[in-house]
Copies of this chain bind each other. A is one copy, B any other.
């Protein structure tokens, strides 16, 4: 089982922020990634629909030799918190708990902000996870439905005027409420990190939910003694549900041009 892959899924390319971190901290692991690009985005859809999609995504990964799942999608991670997890025999993490654990370590004034898709914020998953551990922490949440389209359409330069204007609208409440730590609760958002830093100033620490999920998965696999003994670089297999051509363009934006990965289209059942 040590040589099995780590399975990661998301609605699209956002979860590649988690894969990028995995490749850095666990370069010898095989990784299988699924992006459900034929039905992206999840974040504007209802909890029931998102959960149905997530079960199909997980089933696809189960057909491969996978030792752990990472749900690298803020929306699925939030929506599934109150529902049965996929396969109880498999190790599994979403992005919520790893991001919350890191934010609680970082905050000094006990005021944490959370930004995410409409479905994520509506689920209240983050504030429940934070207040279960630390009831005295004030949690300020804000749904930011324009951030995914902005990232997918390349408005990601730190001084982009449109992303800056929209970020000001969304993030003003974080400044007013004096949060010192902001969880980027959607795995697309790290691509707007430069914009957020300009809008929020240096007093606010940003937490990337995708990267934290990767670090958390490493700790879990270490504890379970399931890290691979492989000496060579691990394989990266990417699957998408819409065309490979469309996916490949976005993969380069998220992972860089020097990735060595096999990309295939698949059908979910």
Contacts and interface: CB of A to CB of B under 8 A. Distances in A.
Count this chain's copies in the assembly. Answer: 2
Nearest to A37: B45
Contact of A45 (B46, B145, B149, B242): B242
A246 B45 contact: yes
Given A39-B39, A146-B149, A146-B153, A46 B165 contact: no
Contact of A46 (B49, B150, B162, B246): B246
Contacts of A150: 146
Nearest to A163: B162
A110 to B, nearest CB: 31
A63 interface: no
Interface in A110-158: 145-146, 148-150, 152-153
Contacts of A37: 45
A161 interface: yes
A48 interface: yes
Interface string A25-47: 00000000000011110001110
Given A39-B38, A149-B145, A149-B149, A243 B162 contact: no
Contacts of A39: 38-39
Interface in A219-245: 241-243, 245
A31 to B, nearest CB: 25
A85 interface: no
A37 B50 CA distance: 12
Contact of A243 (B49, B146, B243): B49
Contacts of A242: 45-46, 49
Interface residues of A, number: 25
Contacts of A153: 145-146
Interface in A166-199: 166
Contacts of A48: 243
Most buried by B among A40, A49, A241: A49
A56 B157 CA distance: 39
Contacts of A145: 149, 152-153
Contact of A165 (B49, B146, B165, B246): B165
- 4 nearest CB pairs, A to B: A46-B243, A149-B149, A49-B242, A38-B49
Given A38-B49, A145-B153, A146-B153, 16 more contacts: A37-B45, A38-B39, A44-B152, A45-B243, A45-B246, A46-B242, A48-B243, A49-B241, A49-B242, A49-B243, A145-B152, A148-B149, A161-B165, A162-B162, A162-B166, A165-B165
